[in-house]
Structure formats: C-alpha cells, structure tokens
C-alpha cells in the first residue's frame, strides 16, 4: 500500500532514486578515477540483489517512480539483468533506466531489454579512437559503439542518450562531431559539465567548459532552438532548427538546478545520499542486515530526506567536495 510521499524540509517531493550496484569499473576516466584505479569494496559490503529490491520496493511505496541503475559500471556486476527483472516487477515504478559506459552492452543489450530496462544513457567522451583512449585510458571505442548499435536494435528502449563530460581543453574539439552524430542518428547527445568529483582532486573552476560555451560553438555551425524544460529535468534540451535531431546540456556548475531537485542516491554499500555533493550519508545496510522492519527503515529514510540539502554550493566560498569520487557515489 502506498505511504505518504517523501518530502524534504524545503517542500520538494522526492520521486527519483539513483541506485549504484557496484563501485567497480572497467574504465579509468580522468574525471572520475586515477589511472591505477581505487580500492574496491569487499563483496560482502555490497548490497545483495534482494537487499536492493527490498529498499527499492520501500522507496516505491514512498512515492519514488523513477529508478536509475548506476555504478561504477553496472554491467560488471554478475547477473545484472536478473536484478533489472526483479526491480521491473515492483508496483509503482514507472521508469527503470541505466547509465553505462557501454563496454558490455553488445553482450547484454538483449537481456537488459527483456528484463525491463526502458531508457539507457551511454557515456562516450569522444568519437575519435585516440581521444577516447586519452580520456578513458582504455582503447574501447569500437566496442562501445557496437554496444550502442546493439541497443538501438531494440526500439522499445527510448530514448538512448549519449553522455559526454565537458572538459576545457578537450571537449571543444568534440562539439561539432557530436552535434553531427546527433543529427545523423536517433541518439540524443548530452554534454555534462565537469564536476568536482574526480578522485585525483584536480578539478578547478577553470577546467569547466560550460554548457553555454558548447552551445554557442554548435549553434554557429548548426543553429539550435531551445525546447521547454520538463519539471525536474537536469538538461537544457535544444533541437536543431532544421529538424535533424536534438542535443542537451547538463549544467550543474554554471546553472545549478537544485530548486526543483527530486533526486536521492543509494550507494553500492547501502548509504543513502540526499545530494550528489553530500558530506553526510545515512546507513541503510546495517539496519537492513540487523532485522529492521519496513516501518523502521521508513523512519530512517524520512529523517534523512527531511535534511536534504537546499543546494550543492559548488560555486560558493568554502565549498568542500565530498570525500568520495563519482564512481564510489554512483553516477
């Protein structure tokens, strides 16, 4: 039976949950992870499929309608499509989506669609093989593109988005090729501003190539017109004026969208985070594993969500980035 919906102290209703299923990843992207990788969680620390299902079922009763599965890289989790199938059967969920680096999509696309995935975001930071390697430290662009094509053969998955992290000194050269990719395919390309979530702690404001700068580069070659923003949307979406495709810009640094944020996050080891940049976390794994009832879990969740941050404060003096990098939080 549905419960009273989750609401924070600022009046925002919470309907979107990002669930990280693993902190492990087979890439080493510069904006996320050091070249040598990070210490992985012990497998016993990571939530089981049954624990994830129980928590997502509770969140669905609390008004969460959209669940996005993330990592690390979700597809490196053994039997991951099985988890998708378990979650797809939960009453109240309206949208079950996935963010992946695409490396294993060629293998898993069919199983994911059959299990119930409805939308997919694939991270690709360059369409040039050498530059893709430069950013990800893996020579895997052909395999990722094959995975993207394998997914596109399933029309029930829609939309398929291609995400590129925008970094000054790198992505300027990618803007027009990605625009032409968006114009010539059914994929929506989205540029995401570089955020202070890299494990190397090399982020600076000067490293951020803003969405507005990229939009101007693209508009000078392929004129754009903005579409109305959907409530709670993270992206400003533009269509090409001649009708050939769309492109989006996610601008959390230059244009924060905190006012109507409806998102919370669950890390791979069961920590509830109410903001991507949270300094504090709420442990759900320990009560889950020591016999807490759903009523007790609900109380813990409500208290945490009530304290959800008003905004992330990235552009304010004294901002402190979270101790975790993006791969450990869940993208």
Beta-bridged to residue 66, according to DSSP, are 16, 95
What is the Cα gyration radius of the chain?
19
> What pLDDT, on a 0 to 100 scale, did the predictor assign at position 143?
98
Selected residue with higher pLDDT from 40 and 231: 40
Q: Provide mean pLDDT across the span 220-233.
A: 90
pLDDT at 203 over 90: no
Tell me what the mean pLDDT of segment 46-74 comes to. Answer: 97
* pLDDT at residue 303 greater than cutoff 80: yes
- As given in the structure block, the two tokens for residue 162 are 């291609």
Range 51-70 average pLDDT: 98
CB 4 within 8 A of CB 80: no
Check if the beta carbon of residue 277 is closer than 8 Å to that of residue 268. Answer: no
User: What are the DSSP calls for 301-313, one per residue?
Assistant: HHHHHHT--S---
pLDDT of residue 317: 82
Summarised one tens digit per residue, pLDDT across range 80-114 is 999 999 999 999 999 999 999 999 999 999 999 99
Domains of the chain: 16-329 (3.20.20.70)
In angstroms, the CA 216 to CA 222 distance is 10
Q: How confident is the model at residue 198 (pLDDT cuts 50, 70, 90)?
A: confident
Residues 6+ apart with CB under 8 A from 189: 161, 162, 164, 178, 179, 181, 182, 247, 248
Given this model, what pLDDT does residue 117 score? 98
pLDDT at 160: 96
Residue 174 has pLDDT above 80, yes or no: yes
Q: Are 72 and 22 in contact (CB under 8 A)?
A: yes
Whether residue 23 has pLDDT greater than 90: yes
- What pTM does this model have? 0.95
């Amino acid at each position: 039976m549905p419960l009273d919906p989750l609401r924070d102290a600022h009046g925002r209703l919470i309907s979107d949950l990002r669930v990280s299923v693993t902190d492990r990843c087979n890439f080493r992207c510069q904006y996320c992870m050091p070249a040598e990788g990070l210490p992985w969680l012990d497998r016993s620390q990571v939530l089981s499929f049954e624990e994830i299902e129980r928590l997502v079922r509770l969140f669905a009763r609390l008004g969460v309608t959209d669940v996005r599965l993330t990592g690390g890289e979700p597809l490196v989790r053994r039997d991951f499509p099985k988890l998708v199938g378990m979650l797809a059967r939960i009453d109240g969920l309206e949208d079950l989506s996935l963010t992946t680096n695409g490396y294993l999509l060629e293998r898993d696309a069919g199983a994911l669609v059959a299990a119930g995935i409805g939308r997919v975001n694939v991270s690709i930071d360059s369409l040039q093989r050498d530059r893709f390697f430069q950013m990800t430290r893996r020579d895997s662009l052909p395999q990722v593109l094959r995975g993207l094509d394998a997914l596109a053969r399933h029309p029930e998955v829609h939309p398929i988005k291609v995400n590129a992290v925008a970094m000054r000194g790198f992505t300027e050269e990618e803007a027009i090729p990605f625009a032409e990719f968006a114009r010539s395919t059914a994929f929506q390309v989205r540029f995401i501003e570089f955020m202070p979530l890299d494990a190397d702690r090399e982020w600076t404001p000067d490293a951020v190539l803003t969405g507005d700068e990229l939009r101007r580069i693209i508009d000078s070659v392929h004129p754009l017109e903005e579409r109305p923003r959907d409530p709670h949307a993270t992206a400003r979406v533009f269509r090409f004026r001649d009708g050939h495709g769309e492109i989006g810009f996610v601008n959390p640094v230059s244009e924060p969208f905190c006012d109507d944020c409806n998102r919370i996050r669950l890390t791979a080891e069961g920590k509830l985070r109410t903001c991507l940049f949270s300094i504090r976390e709420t442990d759900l794994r320990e009560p889950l594993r020591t016999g807490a009832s759903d009523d007790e879990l609900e109380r813990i969740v409500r208290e945490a969500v009530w304290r959800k941050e008003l905004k992330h404060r990235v552009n304010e003096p004294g901002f402190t980035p979270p101790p975790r990098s993006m791969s450990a939080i869940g993208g």
